[in-house]
Structure 1
Amino acid sequence: MTGLFNRLTDTPREECGVFGIYAPAEEVSRISFFALFALQHRGQESAGIATADGYTIRSYSRMGLVSQVFSESALSQLTGHMAIGHNRYSTSGSSISCNAQPVVVGEGERQIALAHNGNITNALALRRELDDLGYTFKGSTDSEVIANLISSAPFYDMEERIRYAMGRLQGAYSITMLTRETLYAFRDPLGVRPLCLGKLGDSGWVVASETCALGHIGADFIREIEPGEIVRIDPNGVESFKEDSGRRALCIFEYIYFARPDSIMNNRLLYTARQAMGAELAKEHPVEADLVVGVPDSATAAGAGYALASGIPPAEGLIKNRYMGRTFIEPTQRIRDLGVKLKFNPLQSVLEGKRVVLVDDSIVRGTTTPQVIKLLRKAGAKEVHMRVCAPPIRHPCFFGVDMATRRELIAARMTVPDIKNYIGADSLGYLSVEGLIRAVGAPKENFCLACFTGDYPVPVQLELDKLALEDSTQIRLPESFSRSMDAEEIPAVSL
């Protein structure tokens, strides 16, 4: 994406989306394409699909959106009766073609393809260990570390190899994986990232990051894959291997922002959870106003909830350009200077002379919120009262969300009154942690709230960098790897 789009985005960035399918009677590559299309919101940098037919693993991945990556020709060559797919946003390793997934490692009967959502906090140490054992790496992601760690496990049985890797990995991972004959899905013991199981027709099975992908391909939601669970799918059906993993730590931002509002988590439709966040905001931070405007699209539901609970009429005061940033064409300086105006256009006749409650999902760096408030004022808003669905974000994330370093987080540097003045609002109210938990309707101990509280579910290296696997003095990418956005195929066999 363009640097301009990055500057216009002041929310936690998406992580990744994963998918898997075992369906002998179906065109698995085509179904994977549409599932990834439904999961596009989870990552827009690269996409890929790997398939297996019992004898061979084939893989195809490129930089770009799902619709840009795959053609009829590419899908037709991805033959087999099972597949995995991946949408990437880079949280570990640069956004370059050699880091696109699925990752394929090994040869012959030990070859595997793997797609990963999450972040491994001890990846650097594991990578150095695998280097010493003679394993080679094509890219610089923790996902490739996971794949090679599984390959290095001193066991023949694949479930034992996965279990061995899970015992050594620290951090977050929801994974789909192929051998030549079997589809696997597994989730870290804390359950930081989501993963669900679905049924397709009489004999097909699918796994996906979110339930929204299931409806798009005609699959039925069965259940969520449990934290610490390994699921194996083969001609004998579905088999589960699970040990009690103790503490839970689902990322709360799946509820606030990441997941699509039509997805279900913990038996709760996320649209209603976001409505409830807005209602809690109205209770905790009431104000006299004429209109409630939810920042589109992520805070639309919360805005509706605030309006309903407060009795203040909702209004569509901002129109979003939904295609902003989905181009590799660098803007001119004149266009770049327009800033947030490229992303939002205010409706002057709706806003003029009104006292407005502006509801957003979060404030991370505080770079775009002042510009949005200026837009409303320029359109004639008399007052702008900012309400935020997430509590103040004071700590960075190390589990698969490219949020910001602590020194970049505005709430780590300023008090709430200072932030109010900085963004130019007439008042500012953040949802409390307690209000957020009431809104999601699940026990507090089920979630990772570290970005608000600093209480990380596992130990982390506080200066961990997404490029650590590249920047380490002992680990370098081959000079032939370009950091450009050029498309590149990464086949397990030549397509």
Structure 2
Amino acid sequence: MEPLKHECGVAMIRLRKPLSYYQEKYGTWMYGLNKLYLLMEKQHNRGQEGAGLAVVKLNSQPGDEYLFRERAEGASAIQEIFNAVHAQFADIPQALLNDADYAERNLPFAGSCLMGHLRYSTTGKSGLTFVHPMIRRSNWRAKCLSICGNFNLTNVSRVFEAITSVGQHPRHVSDMHILLEQLGHRLDREVERLFIESHQHGLEGMDITHYIEERMNLANVLRQCAPLWDGGFVMCGETGSGESYAMRDPWGIRPAFYYIDDEIVVLASERPVIQTVMNIPSDQVSELRPGEALLVSRSAEVHTEQIIEPHENKACSFERIYFSRGSDEDIYLERKALGKQLTPAILRSVGGDLEHSVFSFIPNTAEVAYYGMIEGLDSHLTEQKLRQITSSPNLSEEALHHILTQRIRTEKVAIKDIKLRTFISEGKSRNELAAHVYDITYGTVTPGVDNLVVIDDSIVRGTTLRQSIIGILDRLGPKKIVIVSSCPQVRYPDYYGIDMSKMREFIAFRAAIALIKERGMQSLLEEQYQRALALRQRPTTESVENVVKAIYAPFSAEEIASKMVELLRPEGIRAEVELVFQSLEGLRRAIPHHPGDWYFSGDYPTPGGSHLVNQAFIDYIEQDHR
């Protein structure tokens, strides 16, 4: 498939011992930095447009910096930011570099609170201004805030109105900048609350600062801010005085996992990343619950707290299908189950002819689903062999040998040429290059005889199928090409962190529109357009009907798939082509605990999602259809 961009990956570390402890036990005070690097590198799949890190020192003296940040853009951003950090230690004599106390007093990034972020943009905005972590500075350490997140909010305008109504004047209107101002405002109020308390206790001077920093309650800040947030998110932050938090949305849309021992607190977007970096089994990694926050005090005391009551579970199914690492034991089994569920549909598409069918996958994220598909086909073939043998007890040795030696034919027919970059933007030249993104393994298919079945994890836009995959597979000369999607037809935009927001991007939607025109049903488009305009008047806090569902309703999934083939089939293709999709029921059986399937069903978990999909339909009618 054509890669989807996903916003984003987070990593957070809080060291619970002095830096000297790690120097003595692990041979370096950079233990936290090294772990952060690994957490980020192991989540590189979650963001390749930029990366950043922030580190807070706990014991800086007045006049010394205590919050350090490094950011970079591009696919090599992780390497760049850590190279930049280590470059600042290059001229330090080794003896001093091994002195943890010296490092904590004098060296940048020698701190106990660490936070990292990997970015994919879903807004189209680029530049270092939009790379996390972002910082709101103050000459009070407790009011200084650095934040990052894996999220997309659907109601940024509402949050903007809320913070401007109390006199704030944001310099940017991106969701992250607005969140920084909102959180910063409530952080100021929390500090002021404690400042007043300290005066009531008769404290003066630095005793006031110590009183505030020892009693900061970030849960108060989150409780004031989070109820306004509509969307999927994991928000992370740290203050200049050394408090940290991470909070998950109340629907559980975006994932977060954590590990705690007496040396360290670790949080990341994916469980196996923590397992690998900390070398621990899965049962020692906890999942942050929907609406819950992980809170770490300045003194490194850790607890979780329910900030918002959890709503209906809508954990993102696409995380399991595509984005998260397949090395997670549960995700691995779920992806195999997705492939296995497709066995009956695949058998129908090849007419049950396994002897003349070759099975493969389109690298690389579909590989686990491919294993499940092969398991399902193997099970079917075993049952078939058993029926053949038991129904004919007097088989000759030759006939018996023929039955027993039947195998599912598996080949690696498509190989992605990762060195090739379609960097030319001019249409014809780009299409010519795109056609060569994949290489094929010649001789794997018997021309004119074999079916070629290739599984992919999803089909969203269909661009790669049309420009490259179908054409290059046809060179092998198969009788029929069957492209199998391990997930259902992607019909609706996502508004919680994946870069698909326009209706015209979806090949399933374009197929439905083509069928509507073909059958003279254009009045349906106008009816739903008018319905969307009427619903736009409703408050954004109110869930509304998804008008796009009616566009698909007149057609079966098979009809839409057939029309998709017509739209995607390049000229000159000799083989018959068929698209086979996972059913929505099959998806839910394979991934029962992550029912967030709005991409396929159109059932958005938050009010903002239903409003935005209707606006996307309005935009399509006004900009693309007329």
**Greater mean alpha carbon deviation, residues 151-160 or residues 58-67:** 151-160
Cα shift at 1:413: 2.6
State the secondary structure of the residue aligned to 1:189: coil
Cα shift at 1:125: 2.7
State the secondary structure of the residue aligned to 1:21: strand
Residue 276 in structure 1 maps to residue 337 in structure 2: yes
List per-residue Cα deviations over 1:47-84 (Å, max 9, x = no partner). Answer: 00001112522111111234442243424532201211
List per-residue Cα deviations over 1:213-254 (Å, max 9, x = no partner). Answer: 213422534210111001112434320101541311111100
CA distance in 1, matches of 2:71, 2:455: 38
Asked whether the 8 Å contact 1:92–1:140 carries over to 2, the reply is: no
Cα shift at 1:449: 1.2
CA distance in 1, matches of 2:614, 2:6: 18
CA distance in 1, matches of 2:335, 2:409: 18
Taking CA–CA contacts closer than 8 Å with sequence separation of 6 or more, which of the two structures ends up with the larger relative contact order?
1
Residue 32 in structure 1 maps to residue 36 in structure 2: yes
Matched residue, 1:177: 237
State the secondary structure of the residue aligned to 1:393: coil
Seen in structure 2, the aligned counterparts of structure 1 residues 322 and 465 have a Cα distance that, compared at 3 Å, is: farther
Cα shift at 1:93: 5.2
Cα shift at 1:121: 0.8
CA distance in 2, matches of 1:273, 1:324: 32
Q: Which amino acid aligns with 2:461?
A: R
TM-score by length of 1: 0.84
Cα shift at 1:305: 1.3
**Greater mean alpha carbon deviation, residues 40-49 or residues 452-461:** 452-461
CA distance in 1, matches of 2:53, 2:153: 22
Aligned match of 1:308 in 375, 399, 415? 375
Aligned match of 2:567 in 387, 403, 422? 422
List per-residue Cα deviations over 1:13-65 (Å, max 9, x = no partner). Answer: 22200010012435223321221111111110000000111252211111123
Unmatched runs of 5 consecutive residues or more in structure 1 = 1-8, 467-495
Aligned match of 1:320 in 380, 393, 416? 416
Residue 449 in structure 1 maps to residue 597 in structure 2: yes
Q: Which amino acid aligns with 1:300?
A: E
Aligned match of 1:250 in 304, 308, 315? 315
Cα shift at 1:378: 1.4
Matched residue, 2:440: 346
Unmatched runs of 5 consecutive residues or more in structure 2 = 23-28, 61-65, 90-107, 192-216, 379-407, 512-559, 570-575, 617-626
Aligned ranges for residues 83-232 of structure 1 at < 5 Å? 83-92=114-123, 94-107=125-138, 108=140, 109-131=142-164, 133-135=166-168, 137=170, 139-153=172-186, 154-156=189-191, 157-180=217-240, 181-199=242-260, 202-220=262-280, 221-232=284-295
Asked whether the 8 Å contact 1:393–1:411 carries over to 2, the reply is: yes
Q: Max radius of gyration: which structure?
A: 2
CA distance in 1, matches of 2:429, 2:78: 26
Asked whether the 8 Å contact 2:40–2:78 carries over to 1, the reply is: no
List per-residue Cα deviations over 1:390-411 (Å, max 9, x = no partner). Answer: 1111110111111241122111
Seen in structure 2, the aligned counterparts of structure 1 residues 276 and 378 have a Cα distance that, compared at 3 Å, is: same
State the secondary structure of the residue aligned to 2:368: helix
CA distance in 1, matches of 2:11, 2:47: 13
Asked whether the 8 Å contact 1:346–1:375 carries over to 2, the reply is: yes
Asked whether the 8 Å contact 1:252–1:449 carries over to 2, the reply is: yes
Residue 43 in structure 1 maps to residue 47 in structure 2: yes
Aligned pairs, number: 448
**Greater mean alpha carbon deviation, residues 65-74 or residues 368-377:** 65-74
State the secondary structure of the residue aligned to 1:14: coil
Cα shift at 1:364: 0.9
State the secondary structure of the residue aligned to 1:19: strand
State the secondary structure of the residue aligned to 2:270: coil
User: What is the percent sequence identity of the aligned residues?
Assistant: 25
Seen in structure 2, the aligned counterparts of structure 1 residues 355 and 323 have a Cα distance that, compared at 3 Å, is: same
Seen in structure 2, the aligned counterparts of structure 1 residues 344 and 11 have a Cα distance that, compared at 3 Å, is: same
CA distance in 2, matches of 1:375, 1:174: 41
Matched residue, 1:490: none
Asked whether the 8 Å contact 1:11–1:364 carries over to 2, the reply is: no
Q: Which amino acid aligns with 1:437?
A: R
Report which of the two has the higher share of helix: 2
Cα-Cα RMSD: 2.5
Asked whether the 8 Å contact 2:218–2:295 carries over to 1, the reply is: no
CA distance in 2, matches of 1:203, 1:177: 20
State the secondary structure of the residue aligned to 1:61: strand
Seen in structure 2, the aligned counterparts of structure 1 residues 397 and 332 have a Cα distance that, compared at 3 Å, is: closer
State the secondary structure of the residue aligned to 1:115: strand
Matched residue, 1:484: none
Asked whether the 8 Å contact 2:134–2:148 carries over to 1, the reply is: yes
**Greater mean alpha carbon deviation, residues 97-106 or residues 421-430:** 421-430
State the secondary structure of the residue aligned to 1:247: coil
**Greater mean alpha carbon deviation, residues 340-349 or residues 97-106:** 340-349
List per-residue Cα deviations over 1:261-311 (Å, max 9, x = no partner). Answer: 0135xxx2x122111101001134323352211110111111121122113
Q: Which amino acid aligns with 1:356?
A: L
Cα shift at 1:132: 5.3
Q: Which amino acid aligns with 1:104?
A: I
CA distance in 1, matches of 2:109, 2:441: 47
Report which of the two has the higher share of strand: 1
Matched residue, 1:385: 482
Q: Which amino acid aligns with 1:448?
A: G
**Greater mean alpha carbon deviation, residues 382-391 or residues 26-35:** 26-35
**Greater mean alpha carbon deviation, residues 392-401 or residues 281-290:** 281-290
CA distance in 2, matches of 1:378, 1:436: 32
Q: Which amino acid aligns with 2:147?
A: L
Cα shift at 1:165: 1.1
Matched residue, 2:72: 62
